[in-house]
C-alpha cells in the first residue's frame, strides 16, 4: 500500500486560505505533501474547492508528475428523479475530464443519499417505500453507462463503503456488496473509520471484498460509542482499529491509503509514523 495525502492539517488549511494566487496555493500543497513524505495526493472536490479555494479542473500538470493522483468526489447527492440522474451524469462527465487531464489513477464516489435525507431544506417528497430501490436502479443505470468509459481511459472507478442505512441508500454492508458484485471492474474504496464506527469488523470486511478490487482505503481511527464527530477521523493509534493487521493485508502498491485524519498536521505525521513502525 502507498499513502496519499487527503487532509493537509488544519493550520495548513488556514495558511492556504490566506493565499490569493492559485499557483502559490498548489505549490504549497506540493510542499506539504512532500514534507509528510506522501507518494500520492487525493484531490477531493468539496475539500479543495470549499476549504482551499482550488478548482480540481485546474490541477497543474506538475502535480501529477510529482505524485500519484486520485480523485474523490465528496459531493452528497440524491438519485430520486430523472433530473437528479441527468445532473449526476453531468457531474460524472466533468470528473472524467478532470481525471483524464490530471492523469488520476482512480475516481471514487459516495453512494446516493436516502430520499428523506435533506441536502439543504427538509424535503420528504420521495418517501415511497421503494425509494431505496429506485435510487439504486438509477445508480445502476449511470454505472452501466460510465464505468466502461473510465476503464477505457485506464482509470478505475470506485464506490465508497458508506453504508449507514439511515443516511445512504444501502441497507448495510451486505446490500452494498450485492450491488457492487454486479459490476465487474467496479472498485471499492473502504472507509475504515466510518465502517468501524458503524460496527463492522474491518479485517473481515476486507476479506469479503476480494471479488471486487479494493482500490483504496480512507484511513483514520475511530472509537465506537462516541458522537460521530468525536469518534471518527482520529489520528491512527488513538482509536480501536487494528491497523497493523489491516496494512499487512495489502503488500502491493496498487492500493492507496488516503489519510483522512482531521485536525492539526501533527496528527497526520503521527499517523504516518504509526503505520511505518
pLDDT in tens, 92-112: 999 999 999 999 999 999 998
Domain residue ranges in the chain = 2-276
Confidence grade of residue 121 (pLDDT, cut at 50, 70, 90):
very low
Cβ atoms 209, 183 nearer than 8 A: no
**For 21-41, what is each residue's pLDDT tens digit?**
999 999 999 999 999 999 999
What is the per-residue DSSP string for 45-97?
HHIIIIIS---GGG--HHHHHHSEEEEEE-------SHHHHHHHHHHHHHHHH
Instruction: Write the DSSP symbol of residue 235.
Output: P
Residue 108: its H or E element? strand 106-109
Return phi, psi of residue 159, to 5°. Answer: -110, 130
82 CB-contact burial (10 Å; exposed 0-12 / middle 13-18 / buried 19+): exposed
Count of alpha carbons within 13 angstroms of residue 79, beta-carbon side: 26
Does the pLDDT of residue 118 top 60, yes or no?
A: no
Give the model confidence (pLDDT) of 162-205 as tens digits.
988 888 899 899 999 999 999 989 999 999 999 999 999 998 88
- CATH fit for domain 2-276, picks 3.30.830.10, 3.20.20.150, 3.40.50.10540, 3.30.2080.10: 3.20.20.150
* C-alpha cell, 90: 453531468
Amino acid at each position: 500500500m502507498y499513502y496519499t495525502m487527503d487532509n493537509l492539517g488544519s493550520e495548513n488549511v488556514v495558511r492556504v486560505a490566506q493565499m490569493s494566487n492559485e499557483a502559490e496555493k498548489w505549490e504549497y500543497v506540493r510542499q506539504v505533501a512532500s514534507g509528510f513524505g506522501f507518494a500520492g495526493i487525493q484531490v477531493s472536490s468539496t475539500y479543495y474547492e470549499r476549504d482551499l479555494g482550488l478548482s480540481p479542473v485546474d490541477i497543474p500538470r506538475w502535480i501529477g508528475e510529482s505524485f500519484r493522483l486520485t480523485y474523490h468526489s465528496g459531493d452528497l447527492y440524491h438519485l430520486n428523479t430523472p433530473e437528479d440522474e441527468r445532473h449526476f451524469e453531468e457531474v460524472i462527465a466533468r470528473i472524467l475530464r478532470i481525471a483524464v487531464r490530471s492523469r488520476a489513477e482512480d475516481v471514487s464516489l459516495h453512494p446516493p443519499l436516502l430520499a428523506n435525507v435533506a441536502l439543504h431544506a427538509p424535503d420528504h417528497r420521495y418517501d415511497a417505500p421503494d425509494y431505496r430501490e429506485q435510487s439504486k436502479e438509477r445508480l445502476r443505470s449511470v454505472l452501466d453507462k460510465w464505468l466502461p468509459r473510465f476503464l477505457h481511459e485506464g482509470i478505475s472507478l470506485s464506490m465508497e463503503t458508506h453504508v449507514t442505512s439511515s443516511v445512504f441508500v444501502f441497507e448495510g454492508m451486505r446490500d452494498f456488496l450485492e450491488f457492487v458484485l454486479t459490476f465487474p471492474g467496479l472498485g471499492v474504496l473502504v472507509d475504515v473509520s466510518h465502517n468501524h464506527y458503524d460496527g463492522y469488523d474491518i479485517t473481515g470486511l476486507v476479506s469479503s471484498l476480494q471479488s471486487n478490487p479494493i482500490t483504496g482505503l480512507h484511513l483514520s481511527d475511530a472509537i465506537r460509542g462516541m458522537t460521530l464527530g468525536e469518534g471518527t477521523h482520529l489520528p491512527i493509534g488513538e482509536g480501536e482499529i487494528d491497523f497493523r493487521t489491516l496494512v499487512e493485508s495489502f503488500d502491493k502498491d496498487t492500493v492507496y491509503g488516503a489519510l483522512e485524519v482531521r485536525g492539526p498536521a501533527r496528527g497526520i505525521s503521527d499517523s504516518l509514523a504509526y503505520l511505518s513502525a
